[in-house]
Amino acid sequence: MPTVPSGPDTHPDPDSPHALSGSAVRRSLLLLGRGLKSQPRPFAIAIGASVGYGIAMVASGWALGQVTDRVVVPALTGPGISSSTLWAAGAILLVIAAATAVGVALRRTFAGVAALGVQAGHRRAVTRQYLRLPMTWHRKHPAGQLLSNANADAETAGFVFGPLPFALGVIAMIVVASGAMLAADPFLGAIGISMLPLILVANAVYRRRMAPAVTQVQHERAVVSDVAHESFEAAAVVKSLGTVEIEEERFTAAADRLRAANVGVGRIRSVFDPVIDLLPALATLLVLAVGSSRVAARAIETGDVITASYLLTVLAIPVRAIGFVLGDLPRSLVGHDRISRVIDARGYLSEGDRTLDDADGVHLAVEAVTLRAPDADSPDGQRTILNDVSFEVPAGRTLAIVGSTGAGKSTLVDLLARLRDPSEGVVRYDGVDLREIRSGNRTGTVALVAQQAFVFEDTVRDNVTLGDGTEDRPFSDEEVWKALRIACADSFVDALPDGLDTVIGERGASLSGGQRQRLAIARALIRRPRLLLLDDATSALDPVVEQAILTGLREIAGDVTVVVVAYRNATIALADTVLHLDRGQVTGTGSHAELLASDPGYRRLVTAYQRERDERAEVSG
């Protein structure tokens, strides 16, 4: 099962905005500064190594000029040179080459470490925000889009940091090389320096055209992920209803739009990249033409032309590195903007600071709870899901929530587990407002088992324990088997090839719906919760197994308080109290027999199946 990695992220302060504001230049500088601060040591080493590499490259240009004037020209046209001079020239070039190699190795290694660290920080920030945001937020955003934010967008936001150390380090090369060219000959130096403003102009045009194109690519990538995710999740529906061709057409259309967007980006880069390569080459040709005429006029030495032309050729490397940074900046800004929409999302649940005392069960109290949700079709823009709901469940007792489809049962269970907060009213555990309880204490107190039981692609043991427990007291196999036995799952687990060590397929594809539900119940029971919430968690079980599980709950959990969303009479009859919920309102509370006698709506609901069966029997008779 995946876990959230630890370590620093790129946005440690959750209360300050993550989105970048201002002009494109300001946003670019803020993005670069934030990334550099997140990985200071690797970036410092990479930039330092790049500076060393740049100085070594400039030194090699100076050395070539000196070797030309003092070794090559005298050897060709003069009286010759001594062997000591030749060896000294070779030694200088060898030392410079070794320094260059070391600089390249250190720069590439630590630049990669730093860039991957920035991307990992983006993923941590997005993932942590996913865990903080309530279920209501997640339900409004497609899973494919969320996957794209945590993967493609987080990676894209860090693209620029790969070439960044090289670009920053070789600025020293540009400064030193420009000085060396000017020292060799002011005319040649001016020609070389003149290409830098042209590159900045070319990049400004490129950035203005690239930003919208990259935005479109990231959007289309999220759409492709969403379509693919929906098709995979609904594979059984697609195959059984024969809509494979329709899904293929949906995915093909989305993939074609993504391809077209990527081709558009490629076309823009296909113009920009050659321009960046062309400018230094043109400047070099101009230096050679002007330099040769000045050598003929004896204004400069041959070595000065060699130095200037070599340094200008060398300058193509830092110019190229800067071009990579400038080229990746629009893409990284778009990726950063997309993950910022997640990181800056608000509405997550506040953190409490109170801790409950240990006890066998929770005294649960719901006081005048109302929940509203935005609804554009309502006159006031809101729809009431729960309205003035109040009830109590004494510690160690069982409450059954009964209601028709859409009555608000699952929403009420979400409030009891604090997956969301009510618009009005209070939910209390042992007299303490649920919003005031520390989250770690709350999750150790309550366990929720939903109707749709999620099973990880992992062993049976880890699906039950979730790798949980503490170093001092991890869950033992004996505890796992006991939880499985109470959940009536021990027999089918024992029949698996490797027992507890059997790896279950993705989402429990190799298990039936009832087997997945029983694993989920065992997962809840092993934690010995004080409050157990079962949201129709036994719907895929036959009545005999369901009753056996509900009867045996207290064997492992003690005097646990149980709230169960129920439909079957046998399940409802096991509850101490029954709450009838209709259209978000409580219409009756009492025992099963009391509600049958006093609540007509309840009586119609729980006897509907029996009435339908009797009517079919009369017709067939």
- Rounded Cα–Cα distance for residues 421 and 434 (Å): 9
Q: What is the mean pLDDT of residues 396-409?
A: 89
Are 400 and 579 in contact by the 8 Å Cβ rule? The answer is yes
Specify burial of residue 76 (Cβ count, 10 A radius: 0-12, 13-18, 19+): exposed
- Rounded Cα–Cα distance for residues 350 and 91 (Å): 67
pLDDT, residue 470, reads 46
Beta bridge partners of 372: 384
User: Looking at residue 507, what DSSP letter applies?
Assistant: G
Residue 417 sits at φ, ψ, to 5 deg, of -90, -5
Which ranges in 133-243 belong to alpha helices (H)? 135-139, 143-148, 154-156, 164-169, 171-184, 186-193, 195-233, 235-240
Chain centre to alpha carbon of residue 529: 30
Which two three-digit tokens encode residue 44? 């410092």
pLDDT, residue 7, reads 43
Q: What is the mean pLDDT of residues 358-379?
A: 84
Q: Which residue has the higher pLDDT, 241 or 512?
A: 512
Which ranges in 242-301 belong to alpha helices (H)? 244-296
Question: Tell me, what amino acid is at 549?
Answer: I
Q: What is the mean pLDDT of residues 61-76?
A: 70
pLDDT, residue 377, reads 73
Instruction: List pLDDT tens digits, range 127-180.
Output: 888 888 877 788 777 777 787 788 888 888 888 888 888 888 777 777 777 776
Residue 621: band (very low, low, confident or very high) from pLDDT cuts 50, 70, 90: low
Share of the chain above pLDDT 90, in %: 10
SS3 category, 215: helix
Supply the pTM of this predicted model: 0.66
- Rounded Cα–Cα distance for residues 500 and 575 (Å): 33
pLDDT, residue 5, reads 41
pLDDT, residue 205, reads 76
pLDDT, residue 368, reads 92
Question: Tell me, what amino acid is at 254?
Answer: A
**Pairing label, strands 398-402, 561-565:** parallel
User: Looking at residue 576, what DSSP letter applies?
Assistant: S
- Rounded Cα–Cα distance for residues 463 and 507 (Å): 11
Q: Which residue has the higher pLDDT, 159 or 86?
A: 159
- Rounded Cα–Cα distance for residues 103 and 166 (Å): 10
From the list 607, 34, 3, the residue with the least C-alpha distance to 333 is 34
Are 142 and 327 in contact by the 8 Å Cβ rule? The answer is no
From the list 283, 217, 291, 305, the residue with the least C-alpha distance to 254 is 217
Q: Among 263-267, 429-433, 486-490, 556-560, whose mean pLDDT is lowest?
A: 556-560
Residue 10: band (very low, low, confident or very high) from pLDDT cuts 50, 70, 90: very low
**Pairing label, strands 432-433, 424-429:** antiparallel
Would you say the C-alpha torsion 594, 595, 596, 599 has a positive or negative sign?
positive
Q: Which residue has the higher pLDDT, 472 or 62?
A: 62
SS3 category, 387: strand
Instruction: List pLDDT tens digits, range 29-43.
Output: 888 888 899 899 999
Torsion of CA 486, 491, 496, 497, to 10 degrees: 120
Q: Is the per-residue pLDDT at 355 higher than 70? A: yes
Which ranges in 449-542 belong to alpha helices (H)? 460-465, 477-486, 490-494, 513-525
Q: Which helix (H) or strand (E) holds 100?
A: helix 83-132
Are 323 and 203 in contact by the 8 Å Cβ rule? The answer is yes
